[in-house]
Amino acid sequence: MTGPGVQASVADAVATFEAAFARRDVDAVMAAMTDDCVFESTAPPDGVRYEGAAAVREAWDALFASSPSAHFETEELVVCGDRAVGRWRYDWGGGHVRGVDVFRIRDGLVAEKLSYVKG
């Protein structure tokens, strides 16, 4: 299924997730994700894969605890079907990195967030 309505709902799902993430609201982040969600981090060399809501929640808790002043800024979002690719900048005070997230949306929720960083 494709078209303007689907693209808008995919973009809306990503926007809901990103707003919760920017607030560091783990409950709202998880509410924006499916129960069987997948998150792949940017940890070298190939990232760490977290599967299921409990594992993904632990990853967000750890990320927010380890970087209390850091924040992401989405620079561009491209939607294609049930996927979106967001180009971002992550700042932590003393520096920054850039990367992309590949999202898959199902039923208006983030089912996958696969993260990649320039390095």
Find where tokens 């990320």 sit: 63
Residue 34: per-residue pLDDT? 98
Using the predicted structure, report yes or no on whether residue 3 has a pLDDT greater than 70: no
DSSP 3-state assignment of 93? coil
Tokens of 100: 């992309």
Task: Please compute Rg for the chain using Cα positions.
Answer: 14
- Work out the average pLDDT over 2-29: 87
| CA dihedral sign, ordered 65, 67, 71, 76 | negative
Residue 4 confidence (pLDDT):
53
Given a cut of 60, is residue 16 above it in pLDDT? yes
pLDDT exceeds 80 at position 53: yes
Residue 31 has pLDDT above 80, yes or no: yes
Whole-prediction pTM value?
0.91
CATH code (residue 15): 3.10.450.50
CA dihedral 36, 62, 49, 76 (to 10 degrees): 90
Q: How many domains does the chain have?
A: 1
| Domain span holding position 43 | 4-117
Instruction: Give the model confidence (pLDDT) of 65-117 as tens digits.
Output: 998 888 999 999 999 999 999 999 999 888 999 999 999 999 999 999 999 99
Query: Is the link from the previous residue into 4 a cis peptide, with omega within 30 of 0?
Result: no
Helices (H), 1-119: 4-22, 26-31, 53-66
Chain centroid to CA 9: 16
On whether the CB atoms of residues 22 and 88 are closer than 8 A, the answer is no
For the ranges 3-12, 21-30, 70-79, 104-113, the lowest mean pLDDT is seen at 3-12
Report the distance separating Cα 85 and Cα 89, nearest Å. 13
